[in-house]
Structure 1
Amino acid sequence: MELQQIIFLAILAVALVLFISEKLRVDLVAMLALLALTLTGILSPREALSGFSSEPAIIVAAVFVLSAGLSVTGITDRIGKAIGRAARGSEWRAIAVTMPATAVLAAFSHHLMITAMMLPVLMRLAQVQKISASRLLMPMSLAASLGTTLTLFSAPAFLLANNLLERSGQQRLDIFAITPIGAVLVLVGVIYMLAGRWLLPKRQGDVQNGNYLRLDRYYTELVVDAESPWAGRRLGEFELAFENRLQVVDWLRLGARRLRQHPNSHILSGDVLLVRASPDEIASIKDEPGLSLHAVAKYGEKPREDGQDEALGEEQLVQAVVAPHSEFVGRSVADIDFLQSMGVVVVGLWRKEGWLHGELSEMVLAEGDLLVLWGPQRNFETLSTHRGFLMLMPFNANKKVRRRAPLALAIMIAAVFAAATELLQPQIAFLAGAVAMVLTRCVSIERAYQEIDVRIFVMIAGVIPLGIAMEKTGTAALLAKFLADHAQNLSVYSLLLVMFAAAALLTQILSDAATTVLLAPIAFALAESLGLPPVPFVICTAMGAVASFLTPIGHHGNLLILNPGQYTFGDFLRIGVPLTTMIGLTVAWMARWLWLEGPLLPAFAGG
């Protein structure tokens, strides 16, 4: 063993210990490894920094922005709710509909975002259908992870594997090269979860106590503007158009509550609708044609009576909790006159128990009420010391720009089409799509930067040099020779399984990207030593890093559902081990069939 190989293995060992122990963040560990490889002379500065301009890093950053565009314009929410409606009826149908639909969404977006989007949808579905949440959440999370095997850009592991093949002189894979494998894996996953439903635990999670996402709905008032497209239309039409977005609780005209609130009753300009809405919807109302927040329309544009500057300017939304024994308790919103006394207006209210009716300004406040206040930042700085409020918090809401949904969808389709047909290089196609999302204001530049997970970007850029160093020092070839010498009696199919299994185990303690960077060069060298095409060996390794479900820590999506579904480590082990075994057998079979002209049916004997 040469000196450079010893130095590289020492750096790799330290990096692995730091990765596994999580004493430092994974992106920082990747940067330390990069510096160590450069300072020891194993890599040149150009080689060490090549990861930042690499195809995987660029595509991952661009996909984050493209996913944000689909989310901000409401496309993912709309699809998620449609899936929820289609899944109603029975537990069997819920799983059969949710899994393939979730997988397809995850193929073209970030799987973690899809899991987070589907989580409240399935929690509500479980509550309505009286199904244990734990029977639905794990199949959905597994489907989101399996969906990343449908396209090459869905998971960093596949981008890194493709990057290795291209660096080594192999032809680059197109973005749908792995789709046949992914499609079979999704089918296997759906059949397994339907046939093995008895393995799923029956626990209600947080649905039963109702605390999960309890702050999802606030009360607010909408006023129908003059010349609004909703003026003269029926209430039923309004409720249908805003289904799952707004829930009409009460209806006022000329300050009086309407006694007849029939779906066929007509809405008029100036009518006020008391609705329950999510924070995102409240923040997005001003972009809805013909509708305004009542308090803002009533007070927002009026100057102060004392002749001072306008009370509202550079406005923002803030939440305030009414404190115990507050001077506000027992008084109505109108009686307190928030605009006159504090320079803000109340645009929303959340209350733990009971339904609200009537005009928001006439609501009598109680301890623990959560008010949504609208006003300039300078007034909130003063308000933060007011004893009537227990605390002030940012109003966490993501504004939706739904009118640009068709444009965002067109941009996403165009980016995928350009990459798939090689009209543009994949990294350029997705980068162009991300820039188009910002230029067309489907997503703001600030939101675009917020959505890019810098930790993942830096980690990918940092681990690529580890793979380069493994090849350059000959360590990959050395380990591959050792493996080949001890696997002479194994068939090609068995060797593909070995590479899948090695990655499936290592990815439980490392990320899929790090696992692929470490094992893919060995898989490549092993294939070369056997005189076989390296693509199936590298793809099997990447598949093992992505599609292994042995523990809840193997995928971040599993961590999202852990508490809502009240899952245990044993639940994932009991369901994940058989599934991962089936996936490994399927991946090796499909890889051999696609790239090695193997038989249609798997066989352990013969190559």
Structure 2
Amino acid sequence: MLSLFILLFIVLCALVLFIGGWVPADVVGIMVLAALALTGLVSPEEAVAGFSSPAVITVLAMFVLSAGLTRTGVAYRIGQPLQLFARKGEAVLIVVLMAAAGILSALINTTTVAVILLPATMDLARRSGLPPARLLMPMALGCLLGGPFTGISTPPNILATDALRAAGLTTFKIFDFTPITGALVVAGIAFMVLLGKRLLPKGGTSGTRKNGIESAYEIGAHIFTIELPPASPLIGRNLAESRLGSALYLTVVGLHRAGELILSPRAQETLQAADIIIVHGQADQVSHFHGSRHLQVEPGGPETAEITRRLGAASVRIGKGSPLIARTLAESGLRRDHHVHVLALNSPTGECLGDFRRHRFEEGDGLVLQGEHQVLENLAEKGLVELGTPLADGSADAPGCELLSLCSVRVPEGSVLAGRNLVESRLGNAFGLTVVGLARDGKVDCLPAPEETIQAGDLLVVQGLARDIDVFEGLQDLEISEQSSRLAAELESQQIGMTEVLLSPRTTLAGKTLSDLLFRDHYGLSVLAVLRKGRACRTGLQDMPLQFGDALLVYGPRQSLEAVARDEDFLVLDQAAAKAPRLHKAPLATMIMVAVLLSAILGFVPIAIAALTGMAAMVVGGCLTMEEAYHSIEWKVIFLIAGMLPLGMAIENTGAAQMGAEALIGLVGDLGPRWVVAALFGVTVLGTQVIPTAALVVLMAPVALGAASALGISPQLLMMTVAMAASASFASPLSHPAHLLVMGPGGYKFMDYVKVGAPLTLVVMAVSVWLLPMLWPA
């Protein structure tokens, strides 16, 4: 009798600690193990037997198998149909997840279904913008509710059938469990949608890392969409030609096209009619430029004609001893000091250089210069260049270069450009346009100095390629169609990721700009923002010199993130985000998982051995590394299960479970079959929260069969009751591996399972007590 009181005291203390949450759950499990061994309720061998238990080994191996499916992209493909419901709302997601989990659990081991759906559910939570805690528990409950669908799908069903066979009674057929299980699944889903979701923890965001990035960079507030107008000049041009980045400081992170989402499109991706462009940046950059509020295109007038008459172009050569040698275009002062514009540059070998801003002039370089006729002659007289063949007046048609066009734009009152100089207007860097004339108060100035301040009412005559002028006009037609934080949840997939990158202590890149590094071209990644001194910068990133302590928010293919992680100049903060899926290993991972399932279902080997073999095959086959395998295991869960398993042995050894069951059945035996079903269900469901289901069915089967014989009640009715109750392990994380699998990723506490699982257990019990006597008349 003393052993019963000691056992009761240990159980009560454990429950208090679980509920209070003062001590981590895994530590409580180890404390229970130690208490049971020290009080002699279990032998030392029984106390540590949990660490070699098939249940513990199975859960451990399942974590690794799940990681293998995730790293090879199999889990993503399995869960891809679920992503169609990402924007349907929480209630719809709960219904879809629980229904999918229930159906799959009828065909596959319940724990395996949880393993397969875990990464898919996490991805669904991220895409829907919901915390994982709102979806992971419903998914696990769906697995448990659908588990008993067939006679071979769960251990309780198998053991209940064996108990009837051993007693010489009519056994259950394989689908005898389906009607009651189907009713319980429907009732469970209805409960979760109507009441259960209100009891779920609010949870945080979809991960600590993402929460940190979101709070630091406010990603959701800077993601919006732009819908191309039907006749936009941008249609048919690629993203690089659209100048969304250079002109509006926007980064195109995705395209919605014909119902398909294209993430991290290439710069060569051509825009099509009806495209919806997903961009990251400052929304006011679009609104400022929209509707010609700051620059108004006008038809060419007398000012344009005068500038065309006064300007000319000439082909020149840099001769020996020229002061321009070894200087860049900016250092040469050709525009600032001499009022000429370089239209084209050919190297001494005759090669036409496209981007010559960083080129240092060499002897023999050929230039095409534009300016007033007298100015061009003065350059030759000063020995800066050697004058070659004069070209036509006006817009030059330089050899090897495209025909340039002129366009007149007016600076209206209230324009943000008023008060800025020509350099600050960014017409050159942003649009590839050159201001070749400025008309103010009836006076026309050719090739004004870059420091010339723009005033309201000025007419600027700009020169550029015809397509650049079309783009300039097209950008003024753009407007924001949607701005929502939920858009940010769609930006990542198994192949596209986002993470923070720091300059490493050994970097040689400090002081250089992203433009100097050709970062996008070299790494294939977009820099969305730079975090400097706690402030996220989103504009002018290409020309911002990098400093120690800067954090770069980069976005693009995970393969490119892997390349950055290998570069000694950078430190990638989240290594998991920088891992590209091993898609070429997906067939092998699928074969391994199928082999594990079939060998267990067909009884070739125990599930623990099959899972361990599959785990080894995943590593040997290259689906994941051993380091990744170790990292994938939730060790807290392993220690929690191993620590609590001896408690079931102690209850068995002391006879506490059977004594309580027999006493309770004796109290209600005279009240009729429904009361007997209710009492048996209640005792069994309480036991299943702390005792392994297989052991519980073994304990309760003699009680149920004895009660059926003594009271003249159908033994099939009471054994079905035991099987259903043993599978109703909803109210404790210790009751089933599926709960333990989602405990860590969902951030659940012990009481979270009690809050949702206890009322769900009452619902399942009520439906069972109502339906079972009808399906199996006493």
Q: Aligned to 2:623, what secondary structure does the other structure show? A: coil
- Matches of 1:411 and 1:336 in 2, distance apart? 44
Task: Give the whole-Å Cα distance in 1 for the aligned partners of 2:695 and 2:213.
Answer: 40
1:370 to 553, 562, 571: 553
1:433 corresponds to which residue?
A: 614
Cα deviation, residue 63, structure 1:
1.9
Aligned-residue Cα RMSD (Å) equals 6.0
Equivalent position of 1:74 in the other structure: 73
Per-residue deviation, 1:420:
1.5
After superposition, give the CA deviation of every residue in 1:261-317 in whole Å (9 maximum; x if it has no partner). Answer: xxxxxxxxxxxxxxx974863689xxxxxxxxxxxxxxxxxxxxxxxxxxxxxxxx9
Alignment deviations for residues 123-173 of structure 1 (CA, whole Å, 9 cap, x no partner) = 6458xxxxxx69x995785244212343489xxxx7699899999x989x9
1:482-509 CA-to-partner distances (Å, cap 9, x unmatched) read: 22232223445444444555677899xx
Separation in 2, partners of 1:165, 1:43: 30
- Do the aligned partners of 2:500 and 2:551 also contact (CA within 8 Å) in 1? no
Q: Deviations over 1:25-66 (max 9, x none)?
A: 333333333333333333223333332222222222222222
Amino acid in the other structure paired with 1:85: L
Residue 605 of structure 2 is matched in structure 1 by 424
Higher strand share: 2
Q: Which runs of 5+ in 1 are unaligned?
A: 127-132, 219-233, 261-275, 285-316, 339-343, 385-391, 564-568, 593-597
Looking at structure 1, the residues matched to 568 and 31 of structure 2 have their Cα atoms a distance apart, in angstroms, of 46
Which residue among 546, 562, 571 is the counterpart of 2:730?
546
Corresponding residue of 2:301: none
Superposed CA deviations along residues 304-358 of structure 1, whole A, max 9, x for unmatched, are xxxxxxxxxxxxx972289xxxx999962243699xxxxx98955333999999x
Closer/same/farther in 2, CA of residues 456 and 477 from structure 1, 3 Å limit: same
Q: Secondary structure at the match of 2:668?
A: coil
Separation in 2 of the partners of 1:442 and 1:363? 41
| Residues 1:446 and 2:623 are matched in the alignment | no
Q: 2:502 aligns with which of 314, 317, 320?
A: 320
Q: Distance in 1 between matches of 2:187 and 2:262?
A: 35
Report the equivalent of 1:118.
121
Matched, 1:53 2:52: yes
The 1:587/1:111 distance shift into structure 2, 3 A limit, reads farther
Q: How does 1:356-505 map to 2 (within 5 A)?
A: 369-371=552-554, 379=568, 393-397=573-577, 398-498=579-679, 500-501=681-682
Greater Cα offset, 6-15 or 433-442 = 6-15
What is the letter of the counterpart of residue 424 of structure 1?
V
Q: Deviations over 1:83-126 (max 9, x none)?
A: 22267789997666554235456746463873563355366458
Question: 2:704: which partner in 1?
Answer: 527
Q: Which whole-Å CA distance do the structure 1 matches of 2:582 and 2:496 have between them?
A: 12
1:281 to 495, 513, 529: 495
Aligned to 1:101: 100
Q: Which amino acid aligns with 1:15?
A: A
Matched letter for residue 542 of structure 1: A
Contact 1:476-1:521 at 8 Å conserved across structures? no
> Which stretch shows the higher mean deviation, 498-507 or 114-123?
498-507
Q: Show the counterpart of 2:226.
A: none
Q: Separation in 2 of the partners of 1:251 and 1:37?
A: 68
Q: Is the 8 A contact 1:279 1:396 kept in 2?
A: no
* CA distance in 1: counterparts of 2:186 and 2:193, whole angstroms: 11
Q: CA deviation at 1:69?
A: 1.9
Alpha carbons of structure 1 residues 472 and 558: separation in structure 2 relative to 1, 3 Å: closer
C-alpha distance in 2 between matches for 1:538 and 1:249: 59
8 Å Cα contact 1:543/1:587 also seen in 2: no
CA distance in 2, matches of 1:15, 1:61: 24
Q: CA deviation at 1:576?
A: 7.8
Corresponding residue number in structure 2 for 1:146: 142
Paired residues of 1:74 and 1:400 also in contact (CA < 8 A): yes
The 1:140/1:402 distance shift into structure 2, 3 A limit, reads same
Aligned-pair CA distance for 1:248: 0.2
What SS does the corresponding residue of 2:576 show, helix, strand or coil? Answer: coil
1:221 counterpart residue number: none
Distance 1:175 1:547, change over 3 A: farther
Partners of 2:513 and 2:9 in 1: how far apart? 69
**What residue identity is the alignment partner of 1:121?**
L
Q: Deviations over 1:531-559 (max 9, x none)?
A: 5578545434433322799xxxx968699
For residue 7 of structure 1, what is the aligned residue in structure 2? 6
Residue 87 and residue 335 in structure 1: after superposition, are their counterparts in 2 closer, same or farther (change >3 A)?
A: closer
Map Cα deviations across residues 165-204 of structure 1 (whole Å, 9 max, x no partner): 999x989x99999777554433444566778999999x9x
Give me the whole-angstrom Cα distance separating, in 1, the residues matched to 2:99 and 2:354.
49
Whole-angstrom CA distance in 1 between matches of 2:690 and 2:84: 36
TM-score by length of structure 1 reads 0.59
Output the CA distance in 2 between the equivalents of 1:435 and 1:336: 43
Contact 1:467–1:521, Cα closer than 8 Å, also in 2? no
Quote the offset at 1:415 in angstroms. Answer: 1.6
AA at the equivalent of 2:576: N
Residue of structure 2 in register with 1:22 after alignment: 21
CA contact under 8 A between 1:87 and 1:95: conserved in structure 2?
no
Alignment of 1:239-388 (within 5 A): 246-248=263-265, 250-251=267-268, 278=492, 281=495, 319-320=501-502, 332-335=513-516, 349-351=527-529, 369-371=552-554, 379=568
SS of the residue corresponding to residue 43 of structure 1 reads coil
Alpha-carbon deviations, 1:421-461, whole Å to 9, x = none? 21222222232222222222222222222222222222222
Q: Indicate how the Cα distance of structure 1 residues 45 and 89 shifts in structure 2: closer, same or farther if over 3 A, else same.
A: closer
Separation in 1, partners of 2:758, 2:135: 14
Determine whether 1:600 maps to 2:775: yes
1:578–1:432 Cα change, 3 Å: same
Which amino acid letter does the alignment assign opposite residue 45 of structure 1? P
| CA distance in structure 1 between the aligned counterparts of 2:682 and 2:120, rounded to whole angstroms | 31
TM-score scaled by length of structure 2: 0.48
Distance in 1 (CA, whole Å) between partners of 2:5 and 2:196 is: 49
Q: In structure 2, the residue corresponding to 1:480 is in which secondary structure? A: helix
Residue 251 of structure 1 aligns to a residue whose secondary structure is coil
SS in 2 for 1:423: coil
Q: Report if the CA contact (8 A) 1:217-1:277 is conserved.
A: no
Look up the match of 1:595. Answer: none
1:310 alignment partner in structure 2: none
Q: Is the 8 A contact 1:103 1:147 kept in 2?
A: yes
* Partner in structure 2 of residue 387 of structure 1: none
8 Å CA contact 2:511–2:546 kept in 1: the answer is: yes
In 2: Cα distance, 1:330 partner to 1:424 partner:
62
Q: Secondary structure at the match of 2:267?
A: strand
- Calculate percent identity across the aligned residue pairs: 27
Contact persistence 1:8–1:469 (CA under 8 A): yes
Q: 1:414 to 1:151 in 2, by over 3 A?
A: farther
Sort the Cα spacing of 1:475 and 1:124 in 2 relative to 1 into closer, same or farther, 3 A: closer
**Bigger-Rg structure (1/2):** 2
The one-letter amino acid paired with 1:16 is L
Is the 8 Å Cα contact of residues 43 and 469 (structure 1) preserved in structure 2?
Answer: yes
Counterpart Cα distance in 2 of 1:251 and 1:480: 72
Rounded Cα–Cα distance in structure 1 between residues aligned with 2:705 and 2:51: 28
Residue aligned with 2:265, SS: strand
Amino acid of the structure 1 residue aligned with 2:606 = Q
Question: Cα gap change, 1:146/1:182 in structure 2, threshold over 3 Å: closer, same or farther?
Answer: farther
Q: 1:163 to 1:529 in 2, by over 3 A?
A: closer
Aligned to 1:287: none
